[in-house]
Structure 1
Amino acid sequence: MTRIRTRDGIELAYESMGPEDAPPVILIMGLGAQMHVWPTSLCQRLVDAGFRVIRFDNRDTGASTSLDEHGNPSLIRVWLGRRLNRKPRVPYTLKDMSRDVVALMDELGLPSAHLVGASMGGMIAQILAAKKRKRVRSLTSIMSSASAPKVPVNQLQVMLKLARRPVQRNRDEHFRYITRMSEVIGSPGYPMSEAEIQRLAETSWERTSSPLGFKRQLVAITHAGDRRRLLQKIKARTLVIHGADDPLIPVTMGIETASLISKAKLRVITGMGHDFPEALVPRLSRLLIKHLNRANSEWQQKLKKKKRAEIPSKKAANEDSGDPMDWLEPLDKPDQSG
């Protein structure tokens, strides 16, 4: 694990897998989730397919900077502010979190990358794909949405359960919370094994995390509001993946996301909830690799066209770079023949 420090003073913990000269894929994780929620087996399959994979902890998560100086913001106040068309003060926004991704790319010397975002990470990736087009080779939005989810009773119950995170660092409470969340948001068609749940709990426990970081990220999501107009600006090749049985963000919101992005491909997976069980890795990796390969080919073709277009202009510039008076005919030299 390595760290970088952004201009905003945020330290981001990240891991890079695969050759540094391979096409880069940046994995952006969701609400309160650490980088290791991305299955290592999924990362390895992408590396084996010829990509460089970078996963990282968002601010206020895992081993990245915890912003505890911002305390415990009021989610109700932010929600009401959005409803009343006011702009309540928040610790940070999804746009700030998208700038973290750009800072990571800059530090790694990546002019562009493929972005794969899950849940909140999908929202961050959407913002970048719309606002930083030249830096996004492709977009994959997984179990995400184009606006703050409309919360019917069953989704509200899920959100309330998610919000009941242990506020003190207590190992037993942490393990019980991870187990409970797996039951609440897990994939009914691809249930996690006890070993998987135990491994997730142990990994997240070992790495420092602020209990209130989850709340501050949730406030950033709520503050972001509606991004549907923004998504219509996305030009990058886009794949939208959503679980038919997602109990947190309904599949209708994934369908809406795909409909807003020009030529986006939608893949709905029956039995998938709001997690990444190992049993889903083969299918997810096939979808991702196919999408990334096609997007990377298109990106390379665009670069070649751009270079071909630049060659004549450079040649013309070189031809015009001489003395500005060269276009005048030279004066006749005095006749010195006698």
Structure 2
Amino acid sequence: MTQKLVKANGISINCEDRGPADGTPILFVNGYTSTMMSWPDELMDGLRDKGFRVIRYDNRDVGKSEKFSGLPKIADVVAAVREGRKPDMPYTLADMAADGIGVLDALGIKRAHVMGISMGGMIVQRMAIHHPERLLSVTSIMSSTGNPDLPKASDEAMKALQAMPPSEEREDVIRHRMKGRRVYQSPAYPKSEEDLYTFVAREYDHMYYPEGGIRQYAAIMGDGSRVAELGKVRVPFLVVHGHADPLVPHAGGEDTAKSVPGAKLVSIDGMGHDLPVELCPQYVDLIATHARAAEQKAAAE
């Protein structure tokens, strides 16, 4: 389970292949500013116990993957999308999707299941749009389509996401991020103070790089609506979303499932914008069942 840098899509991407080597690959794609360390062990181990080859990686501009330069103006990016112009930004969600496909290339994998949370859900949607031949199935969790008509995040959740810590000192950053996560956590499954501290500290210690978040946010805002493109997707598609998500409201999951032909939506009561360990057995069963059905369909074809 050693992490290593690979060349993917022309850049350096930090990844970890948990195996087993003979399992069907499943690629985990992180959300906005989060690193590969954000995935619960209960989810990864659960899928590995089901026989999947578990692979996770740091998106560009976070963790130990390659960092970029240039600070786009978010207002200009939003205006460009609204006016139908190409936004001026360092990279796109399509580029980030190509990074994940590049990880598969580097590991010698022809086809894989992919799953993504939040921004990672948007990235796997882009994989399904641009690289369908590389995918066995898609699972999009607590994500959305970029449809501008959907309900927005609550004011409190957006403030929590965008607020800056009082200093760059480790303890200040960790405590600040804990406070933010409390705002959009799953209300039915709150983490203890100790568990939340451990979770946030693990991400910080992997690498703290706030500048990358500005470019990732530009990529999200600059992608616009994927609804029309998702209508052409034929990859088996599962959508999982919490009814209590204040950051990406449940309507985002509904719109994703409605946009992809044949997609299945599973809505979970008490789930906010995180992956509670209490729900991991349910996630494992949902993802494994979806993936195995997709494999059977592919074999039949």
With the length of structure 1 as denominator, give the TM-score of the two structures.
Answer: 0.84
Is 1:5 the counterpart of 2:7? The answer is: yes
Question: Does the 8 A contact of 1:163 with 1:215 survive in 2?
Answer: no
> 274-283 or 81-90, which moves further after superposition?
81-90
**For the Cα contact (< 8 Å) 1:166–1:211, is it kept in 2?**
no
Q: Indicate if the aligned counterparts of 2:153 and 2:249 stay in contact, CA closer than 8 A.
A: no
2:249: which partner in 1? Answer: 250
Matching residue of 1:28: 29
Q: Could you say what secondary structure the match of 1:27 adopts?
A: strand
Residues 276-334 of structure 1 deviation map (CA, whole Å, 9 limit, x = unaligned):
121111111111111112112222223xxxxxxxxxxxxxxxxxxxxxxxxxxxxxxxx
User: RMSD across aligned C-alpha pairs, in angstroms?
Assistant: 1.7
Cα distance in 2 for residues equivalent to 1:154 and 1:162: 10
Residue of structure 2 in register with 1:73 after alignment: 72
One-letter amino acid matched to 2:131:
K
- Indicate the residue corresponding to 1:264 in structure 2: 263
CA shift, 1:168, in A, is 5.8
Q: Deviations over 1:232-273 (max 9, x none)?
A: 111111110000000011101111110111111110000000
Q: CA deviation at 1:148?
A: 5.1
Aligned-partner residue type, residue 141 of structure 2: I
Partner of 1:128: 127
CA distance in 2, matches of 1:212, 1:83: 25
SS at match of 1:274: coil
1:328 equivalent in structure 2: none
- Is the contact between residue 130 and residue 235 of structure 1 (CA under 8 Å) also seen in structure 2? no
What SS is found at the alignment partner of 2:28? strand
2:63 corresponds in structure 1 to 62
| Residue in 2 that maps onto 1:306 | none
The secondary structure found in structure 2 opposite 1:26 is strand
Contact 2:189 2:278 in 1 (8 A): yes
Task: Extract unaligned runs of 5+ from structure 1.
Answer: 303-338
Corresponding residue for 1:308? Answer: none
The amino acid across from 1:6 in the alignment is A
Structure 1 contact 178–201 (Cα < 8 Å) conserved? yes
* TM, length-normalised to structure 2: 0.94
Give the Cα–Cα distance (whole angstroms) in 2 for the partners of residues 89 and 82 of structure 1.
10
CA distance in 2, matches of 1:233, 1:252: 21
Q: Deviation at 1:167?
A: 8.6
Distance in 2 between the 1:155 and 1:97 partners?
A: 27
Residue of structure 2 equivalent to 1:227: 226
Residues 217 and 113 of structure 1: is their aligned pair in 2 closer, same or farther, counting only changes over 3 Å? same
Q: Tell me the CA shift for residue 131 of structure 1.
A: 1.9
Work out whether residues 82 and 225 of structure 1, in 8 Å CA contact, stay in contact via their aligned partners in 2: yes
Q: Which structure's CA Rg is the greater one?
A: 1
Alignment of 1:77-88 (within 5 A): 77-88=76-87
CA distance in 1, matches of 2:175, 2:143: 26
1:139-180 Cα offsets, whole Å, 9 max, x none, are 101001111565867624422321123496321221112211
In 2 relative to 1, CA 290–152 (structure 1 residues): closer, same or farther, beyond 3 Å?
A: closer
Q: CA deviation at 1:196?
A: 2.1
Whole-Å separation in 2 of the counterparts to 1:56 and 1:168: 28
Relative to structure 1, the CA distance from residue 2 to residue 164 in structure 2 (aligned partners, 3 Å threshold; closer, same or farther) is: same
- How far apart, in 1, do the equivalents of 2:56 and 2:131 lie? 19
Q: CA 1:260/1:136 → structure 2, altered by over 3 Å: closer, same or farther? A: same
Q: How many residues end up aligned between the 2 structures?
A: 299
Q: CA deviation at 1:21?
A: 2.1
**Equivalent position of 1:110 in the other structure:** 109
Distance in 1 between residues matched to 2:206 and 2:243, nearest whole Å: 32
Q: What is the CA-CA distance between 1:212 and the residue it aligns to?
A: 1.1
Report if aligned partners of 2:247, 2:273 keep a CA contact under 8 Å in 1.
Answer: yes
CA distance in 2, matches of 1:11, 1:236: 28
> 2:196 maps to what in 1?
197
Q: Distance in 2 between matches of 1:80 and 1:255?
A: 26
In 1, are the aligned partners of 2:160 and 2:181 still within 8 Å (CA)? no
Q: Which moved more, 1:76-85 or 1:100-109?
A: 76-85
SS at match of 1:61: coil
Question: Residue type of the partner of 1:29?
Answer: N
